[in-house]
Amino acid sequence: MFHLRQMSPPYFALLGAVLLTQLGCSSHPSVAPVSGKVTLDGEPLRFGSVMFQAVSGGQPATGKIQEDGTFSLSTFGDDDGAIVGKHRVRVVCYSSQDPAVAAAAGPAGDSLGRLLIPEKYTSLGASGLTAEVPADGLSGHEIALESGKAGGR
């Protein structure tokens, strides 16, 4: 039978050192605050969502677009930002994300509705949108979408 008394003091010292190094270590990569604004044909996008996916992989950062087109990203906690490094970016904006439409639909409304921006922007691979998140964060990042229609929307 094994007894704690049989363990030597150096073993306890080593065990303590290992445990101390693990306290305060996070399994999450470094994140930095990210905020910005999304426009479509120069006008603020009033609702929708933004996703930043690190090229290196890991948890994506997402944020809800506010009525004035602004957003802030969250990865592991509220408004903590995005993983530091290069990102591919996508934006989605469906009619069901309009706060007025969502309120009218009630809790049963789970249809996405009509896509209100060009489909290419909804795909990380096709959007052509990228961002670099520095360690000190990214503030006021502009995401300018174009509808492709002559004269705007």
**120: how many CB neighbours lie within 10 A of its CB?**
14
**Band (127; pLDDT cuts 50, 70, 90):** very high
The radius of gyration of the chain's CA atoms, rounded to the nearest angstrom, is: 22
Output the pLDDT for position 150.
57
pLDDT, tens digit (0-9, with 9 covering 90-100), for 16-44: 555 544 455 558 899 999 999 999 999 99
Q: What percent of the chain has pLDDT over 90?
A: 66
pLDDT surpassing 70 at residue 15:
no
pLDDT over 60 (residue 88) = yes
What's the pTM value of the predicted model, to 2 decimals?
Answer: 0.76
pLDDT digits (tens, 9 = 90+) for 135-153: 999 999 999 999 987 555 4
The CATH-assigned architecture of domain 28-145 is Sandwich (2.60)
Secondary structure tally for the chain: helices H, strands E: 2, 10
The two structure tokens encoding residue 62 = 């997402």
The full set of domain ranges for the chain reads: 28-145
Give the angle 38-43-47 at the CA atoms, nearest 5°. Answer: 50
DSSP one-letter string for 108-136: T------B-S-GGGG-TTTS-EEEEE-TT
The pLDDT mean for the chain works out to 85
